[in-house]
Every structure is written in C-alpha cells, then in structure tokens.
A and B are shown apart, each in its own frame.
Chain A
Amino acid sequence: MKRLSRLSKKGVSPLIATVILIAFAVALGAVVMNWGSTHVGESDAGEGCEGVKVSWFERSGHTQVCYSDTQIIFTIESNNMDVSNLKVIVDGEHDIELFDDVLKSPLNIADIKKISIPYSYSKIGKVIQIKAIPKLELNGKLTTCPSDSALVAENPERC
C-alpha cells in the first residue's frame, strides 16, 4: 500500500509519458483519418455522375494539357469527389482513339495527377479535342459517366 502511494506520487518519467502520448496521438490521428472515409464515401456515391466535377489543373494561368509526337500529357484535378478512373477520347485530324482506365490509382478529392498517354502523330494527326470522362464506383460497380460530365480541351498546344 505504502509502495503504491509512493509510486502514484512519483508518477511516470517524462520519457515514458512522452512515448505514451505519442502512441495516443497516433491512434487518435488514425481514427480521425479513417473514420470519416467510409461514412462520407457512401454519400459521395449517392450524388453520382451528376455532381462530379473534374478540371484541368492550371499553372500560372495556363491549362496543363499538351501533346508531342509520341504522347499526350495533361494534369487533372478532382474538385468534389473521388474519381475511380478516367476514359480519354482523343479526336485527331485523321483518326479518333480511345484510352480506357488511364489512372493507375484513383483520383481522390483535391488530388492533382499528371498523366501521359501514348499517342502517334503520324496515325492520329493534329489533336483537335481531348475528352476525359470520369468513372465512378457506384453501388460497388465501376460506372462510366455520361459524356456531359466529361472534361474537354479544344485544340491543345504542342508540348
């Protein structure tokens, strides 16, 4: 009993208290960061393709979309929800080409991703239009949104 009371008076050393508090803060952080994700993710899906908003990322006022002889490069950001993938349609002078699932990982809300897709100038010709159509996971299924929610770049510049 005496020993116990002496222990409680002395308390833990600053070093041990620090370690305990670090563990507590990390656990708290993990809970905060994971707790919201499933809860809000469901609501996101409920809004679906009608609400999805993706945009070309702008750097110093310039839209980051361009093409070279061998690839099309663009930087895209999601403005209001998690986008599972993208379907890109490139409309060129000679041909139209479709690229499905160009994202290696989902484009989450506020994410900015630089994407490059292979392209052949000799085959497709000058690029007239690039269309990026978001794909969302709705009710557990990957769904391509209708083309009115697509992001369009007309007559992009050469890189």
Chain B
Amino acid sequence: MSDELGNRIKELIEQNESLLSVKTTLLEEGFMEDDIDKAIHGVSTSNKDDEKKKVRHISHLVTGKDVFERVGYGFGSQQFINILFYISGASLFLIGIVNGIKSLLSVMISSFLQDFSEEYEKNRSALVMSGILLAMSIFSIAIAIYLNNLKIFAGGIIVGAICVVFYGDLYHRFTKTVLKTEHVPFMLRRMSHIGVVISAISLFIGAMFLQRSSNGYIYVLGISSVALLISVIFVFFLPTHNTVIHEKKKMWAQVKVYYSRAFGDMKFFMGNWILFILIVTGTISGVVQALGNTYYGIFIYKYLGGWGYGRFMNVAIVFSLALLTSLLAPHISRRNAKQYGKFPMLVFGTLLMAILPFTFVVNPHLTTVAIAVVLGVIGASISGIARGLLAIEYIPENKRKNFFVLSGVITTIPYLILFPLGAWLVSDFGMKYLFKILGFALVLFVVPLYFLVVLLHNKQRVKI
C-alpha cells in the first residue's frame, strides 16, 4: 500500500504538481490523510538524498577532471615546450614568432569566448573535442621532436594554445551550469589551490624525466597528453544541463556582435583619460609579460644550467616558485590595496614586475632570478587586482564587459608589431638586450603613465 502511494506521489510530482495539489488529488482518489502525509515526507526526503548524491557524483567528476588536467598542464608546461623547441633547433626568432601567434590567438579567442560561451556553455561536445585536440597537439609535439620537424612542432604549439583557451573557458562556463556554487563541496572549492600544487609537483617530476633521459620528452609529453585525455573522459561523463538552448547564432554574426560590442562604447572609454591610460598600460604590461615568459625559461636553461640542480630542474624550481607564489599573491595584493589604495598599488606592482627582467640583465643567477620571479608574480597580481578595482570604480556595470572586450581587441595591434620586434632583437642582440628593453618599457613608460593616473585622480578628487 505505502509503495503504491509512494510511486503515485512520485508520478504526480514528476508531472510538476505542487505538494498541495498532490495531496488533494490523492484524497480524491480515496487515500487516508495520515498515510498521504507520511508518504509525502518520505518521498521528499529521498528526493533530497537523490539531489545530494547527484551533486556528489558531479563533484567527483569535476575534481577528477581538474586533477588530471593540472597534471597535464604541469608536464606540458609552456617553459618546457619552449626549451624543447629551442633544443630541437628552432631559432630564438622562430620561438618568439610562434609564441607571439600563440599569445595573440589566446587573447583574441578568450575575449571572443566571452560572447560565444553564453551559447556554447551547454555544448559539451565542443568541450570534449577541444580537450581531445589539446591532448593530441601536445602529443604531436613529441612526434615533431622525434621526427626533428619544426613545422609540426610550431603547429602543435599554436593548435594547443587555441585548444587551451577553449577547454578552459568553455569548461568554466559549463561547470557553472551543472554545478551551482552553493553546492560545491569544500575540496572542489579549494581545487584552484590544490591544482597549483599538483602542477608544481608535475613540473618537478617532468624536469626529472627530461634531465635523466635523452628520451625524457616522450615520457613528459606522453604523460601530459594522456592526463589531458583522462580529464576529457571525466568531462564526457558530466551530465548536461537541461535548460532550453536559445536560438543559435552563426559564427560570423557572433564576430559582428563581438566587434560592435567592443567599439560600441569606445567613445566613453577613450573620453575618460584614466580608462584610456589603463587600456594602454594594460596592453604594454601584457606584451612585456608574454615576451618575457617566452624567453625566461630558455635563458635559465641555457645560461644558468651549470648551477643548482641541473638545467631542467632549475627551470622547474623557478617556475614552481612562481606557481606557488601565485597562490599567495592575490591575498597580499588585496591586503595592500586596502592599506595603500588602488592607485599607488598600480605603480608599485609594475615596479615589482620590472625587477625580473632587470635581474636577468644585471645579475643573472639562480637565487636572484628565483627571488625576482616571486616579486614579479606578486607585482603582476598587485597591478592586475588594482586595475580590476579601478575598472569597477570608473566603469558603470553595463559597460564593464565591453571595456574588457575592447581591451582584448586593442591588445592585438601591439602584439602584431611588438612580438616580431622582440623576436628580432633577441636573435640579433641576445636575450639580455630584450630583457633590458622590457624592464625599461615598464619603468619608463608604464610607471609614468600610472603616475599620471594618480595625478588625474587627485585632480578629479579636488574638483569634486
């Protein structure tokens, strides 16, 4: 009897009937009121249990995916790949150009996806496909080294860069739809921190493989691609969200929307000096960081290899430190922003960033470079957070997204000019020469502009 009643209640609830109307229907069908109340209580408790089980299941899948993805990124780190490219015979110029294309595509696709992912967030197959392609592109790099084919290598780097953005951004949106923030268990909430530690450990193990065996690259890139493939399997088993998909837009229509959105509020952004300076300085800082990151690893490998624990291990030490610092940096930044205010933090953060390229020029040794990397990561975080807070202060909420889209579009122009220029400088005058220019670009160009922002802000305050 109670089973029959329970099944009938479930049936009615599935028909989207409210509990009150369920009770009325059942009373009309001749069930006893007491029995109905007990059965409804039992069914609602089991529904809650089902919901909990579902959340737990999704959390396990997401955690598994994140762990394997981090292992993949640690073994297939950008620094290792650039060094392997260099060892395979690529000139410093080619490395610069390939990394420039990679950075440019990353910036463009990332800002495009801000629009696309609104639709694609429900599209699990796009996510799975980008993950598989990412794993394959990393494996193609191993094949390229084996065949000594630089074209395949370069292609692998570029395709990998595109897939990383898709896999990362789409996944972020996708999990938002299948897992609501309030349901996320503690372990998963801490995953961004745990993930960084996993990446750092993978980086070390990868360095050991690369250092101990001449075929180390096969293990490292192989592990990276297999780990990424496993992470894709976890994504594959994630349930899709059953929300209604709105009308699908075509790709070119999205591009049109993207550009009209980017340039729609241009007058507003360009009319405000502070915002204009923020766009310019953000662009320069971005190029400086991207160009520096292209060559820092190679520099450590080439010139500081005789020190510490060996060529690859030294690279792993320095960049693991950078990863671990990135865990603490946002806390330090927020605390300082409260203490000193947003504007002074912009200048301070940029100066800290400049210490890294200058250390490579003035005193390039493992210890000093490691300290400078820590300061550089903190500096980048400080100025990044200060920029974000200023954007919140100066831009109305409805225009904020457009500001970041416009910044993304504008950034592409200097990338097209400065990356080839930087690559040429390295190939003709050496890495130290480029680092000197990067340091001076921050100190002599970005810092004075930020200082100007402070003065403009002061002036505006006085007017008010």
Contact = CB atoms under 8 A, between A and B. Distances in A.
Given A13-B458, A25-B351, A33-B358, A110 B432 contact: yes
Interface in B445-464: 447, 451, 454-455, 457-458
B352 interface: yes
Given A37-B365, A109-B303, A112-B432, A32 B344 contact: no
Interface in B212-255: none
A159 B388 CA distance: 54
A51 interface: yes
Contact of A14 (B352, B359, B368, B454): B454
Of B352, B362, B457, the most chain A CB neighbours within 10 A belong to: B362
Contact of A40 (B367, B430, B457): B367
B136 interface: no
A36 B367 contact: yes
B306 A47 contact: yes
A42 to B, nearest CB: 11
Given A29-B354, A32-B359, A32-B368, A77 B430 contact: yes
| Residue with the highest number of chain B CB atoms closer than 10 Å, among A25, A47, A61 | A25
Contacts of B455: 15
Interface stretch (A16-24, A84-92, A123-131, A146-154): A16-24
A59 interface: yes
B375 interface: yes
A33 B303 contact: no
Nearest to A36: B368
Contacts of A109: 303-304, 364-365
A22 B455 CA distance: 15
Interface in B317-344: 340-341, 343-344
B458 A29 contact: no
Contacts of A61: 91
A28 B352 contact: yes
Contact of A33 (B363, B429, B430): B363
B351 A26 contact: yes
Interface in B407-430: 427-430
A33 B362 contact: yes
A153 B78 CA distance: 35
Interface string B288-321: 0000000000010011111100000000000000
B341 A17 contact: yes
B431 interface: yes
Contacts of A79: 302-303
A60 B303 contact: no
Contact of A22 (B343, B347, B432): B347
B142 interface: no
A36 B366 CA distance: 9
Contact of B372 (A24, A32, A57): A32
B120 interface: no
Nearest to A26: B351
A18 B342 CA distance: 10
Nearest to B447: A22
A111 interface: yes
A57 B430 contact: yes
B359 A18 contact: no
A60 B94 CA distance: 10
A80 B344 contact: no
Chain A facing B: main interface SS? helix
B178 interface: no
A112 B341 contact: no
A44 to B, nearest CB: 9
Contacts of B454: 14-15, 18
Contacts of B304: 80, 109
Nearest to A12: B340
Contact of A80 (B306, B340, B431): B306
Contacts of B43: none
A65 interface: no
B112 interface: no
A5 interface: no
A121 B358 CA distance: 42
Interface centre among A11, A32, A57, A60 (most CB of B within 10 A): A32
A136 to B, nearest CB: 14
Contact of B371 (A20, A26, A32, A47): A32
B348 interface: yes
A87 B310 CA distance: 30
A26 B91 CA distance: 35
B458 A110 contact: no
A59 B429 CA distance: 9
A37 B433 CA distance: 19
B459 to A, nearest CB: 11
B355 interface: yes
Given A32-B371, A79-B303, A112-B430, A21 B344 contact: yes
Given A22-B447, A35-B368, 19 more contacts: A13-B458, A15-B454, A17-B340, A21-B347, A25-B348, A28-B375, A29-B354, A32-B355, A32-B368, A36-B365, A37-B363, A40-B365, A47-B306, A51-B306, A60-B93, A77-B430, A79-B302, A80-B306, A112-B433
Q: Give the 9 A-B CB pairs with smallest separation, nearest first.
A: A36-B368, A25-B351, A112-B430, A21-B348, A17-B344, A40-B365, A18-B344, A80-B306, A110-B303
Interface of A: 11, 13-15, 17-18, 20-22, 24-26, 28-29, 32-37, 39-40, 43, 47, 51, 53, 57, 59-61, 77, 79-81, 109-112
13 contacts: A15-B458, A18-B343, A22-B348, A29-B358, A32-B359, A32-B363, A32-B368, A33-B358, A33-B363, A33-B368, A36-B368, A59-B428, A80-B305
